[in-house]
Amino acid sequence: MEIQRIEPFLQYFERVREWTRRVVLCIPADRLEWTYKPGAFTFGDLVRHLGAIERHMFAENAQCRPSRYPGHGPELAAGFEAVLEYFDRMHAESMEIFRRLTPEDLERRCETPGGTKLQVWKWLRSMAEHEIHHRGQIYLMLGMLNVPTPPLYGLTSEEVRERSVGGDLPP
C-alpha cells in the first residue's frame, strides 16, 4: 500500500494508536515496571518506547533528519500517569509533524538509523507495523498476568467461531 497523501494514512494510524492505548490502559499501575524475565522490556519500557520511537526516530527521519531516540527508561517518565502522558504527548508532537508532510515529502528518501535509505511513505508504514508488534507484546504480557484485555476487533476468537457458518472442519 503506497501512501500518496498523508491524511488517509494518519486516520489509519490514529486507529492503530487508539487500539494500542486501549490495551495500555489495562496495565495495572502497580505492575508498570514488571517484566517476565530480567533484561526484557517492562510494560513501562514498552509504552515509553512507543512514544519515544514515534517522535524521536520515525518523525525525525520522516523529515530527513537523524534519529534522536533517547531510549525507553523511567528517566523519561515514571509512574503510570506520567508514562501515559508521555505516550500521548509524543504522539501529538509526531502527528503535528506528520500532518505537514506533502505528497512530495512522502516520495523523498530518508535514512533510517540502520543506514537504509527508503521513501518516507515506506518508513511511516513500518512505524505502524512496529507499533502493532509491541502492542502484541503488551497483550501477551497482560495474559501472563491473567489481566483481562479487550478483544482487538470487538469479538473474541470463540465468539467469531460461534457466529461462523460451517466452522467445524473435518480433521
**pLDDT tens figures, 99-136:** 999 999 999 999 999 999 999 999 999 999 999 999 99
As a whole number, mean pLDDT of residues 18-47 equals 97
- In percent, how much of the chain has pLDDT > 70? 96
Instruction: Assess whether pLDDT exceeds 90 at residue 156.
Output: no
Share of the chain above pLDDT 90, in %: 85
**Average pLDDT of 1-29?**
94
| Alpha carbon of residue 2 to chain centroid | 20
Note the pTM of the prediction, 2 decimals.
Answer: 0.91
- Which pLDDT does position 169 carry in this prediction? 61
In which residue are the cell numbers 467445524 written?
Answer: 168
User: From CA 58, how far away is CA 118, in angstroms rounded?
Assistant: 12
First to last CA, the chain: 36
Tens of pLDDT, residues 13-24:
999 999 999 999
